[in-house]
Amino acid sequence: MEVLLIEDDPEIVNLLTFYLESEQWKVVTCSDYTTALNTINGNCSVFVIDLCLPDGDGLDLVKFTKKNYPEVPTIIISAKSSSLDRVKGLELGADDYIIKPFLPQELIYRIRQTKSLNTKKSILSISGYTIDLEKRLIQENNEAIFLSTKEYELLKYLINNLGIALAREQLLEHVWDSGEYVSDRSIDNQIKNIRKKLPHLIIDTIYGYGYRLNK
C-alpha cells in the first residue's frame, strides 16, 4: 500500500513515516502545495493531507483528490480543531479528519478503517467489464477474462489514472521493476494484448507519447 503524506513539519513527517513504514507501507511525502499537486495520482492507496501548507490551502488539495480520484480515501490532519473546519473538510468529501496532536498509531488505525470502508469501491464497471481490483478479477457477462500479471498491472495503472494521458516513461516507472530492461515495443505489445482480450476498452494511443484509458 502506498501512502501519500502531505505535511510541511519535518518532525511530524519523520515520525509518521517511521510508523507507517513499520506497517510495510510505502510512504511518499510532500512538504508544500505545489509539489503535492504534481505528485497526487491514482496509484496511491490513501492521501493524508495537512490543511496548513506554506504555499496553499490543503482544502483545495482535498477538493482536487476527491474530484479526480474519488475511489482513493483522503484523510485530513490539522491543528484546526473547530467544528466548522471539520465540517468543511468532510463536506468536500474527506473520509476522516484527525486533530493534531495525535499518536501515529491513531493515523494507522484510521487508514485501516477508511480502506475497509472503501473496499466496495474497488469494484468498477468500465466499457461493459466488471473489474474487482482487490480480487484481480475481470468479468464480462459473468465470464472471467484472464490477463497475465504484467497485463493486469498495466491495466490497473491505466484504470487508476482514467482519462489521463500517460507517457511511456510513467508506465515503465510504475509497472515494471527498476532493474528490468523494457523497450517501448514491449509496452506496445502489452497494450496490444489488453486490447485483444478486452476489445471494448477505449485505450487511446497518443503517438510519440503514450496511452490514455477513457470511460
**pLDDT, tens digit (0-9, with 9 covering 90-100), for 61-115:** 999 998 888 878 899 998 877 777 788 888 888 888 999 999 999 999 889 888 6
In terms of domains, do 84 and 170 share one? no
Q: Are residues 137 and 58 in the same domain?
A: no
Q: What is the CATH number of the domain that holds 187?
A: 1.10.10.10
Residue 100: all three cell numbers together: 493534531
Q: Give the range of the structural domain holding residue 154, as residue numbers without chain letter.
A: 121-214
pLDDT at 34 > cutoff 90:
yes
Euclidean distance between CA atoms 156 and 143, whole angstroms: 19
168 by DSSP, 3-state: which? helix
- Mutual angle of helices 168-175 and 149-160, in 10-degree steps: 120
pLDDT of the residue at 80 = 79
Its pTM stands at 0.57
- Per-residue confidence band for 48, with pLDDT thresholds at 50, 70 and 90: very high
Q: How many domains does the chain have?
A: 2
**69 and 126 housed in the same domain:** no
Task: Give the chain's mean pLDDT.
Answer: 87
Q: Does the bond joining 199 to the residue before it have cis omega, within 30 degrees of 0?
A: no
Answer yes or no: do 48 and 109 share one domain. yes
Share of the chain above pLDDT 70, in %: 93
- 126-159: pLDDT as tens digits: 889 998 877 788 999 889 999 998 899 899 889 8
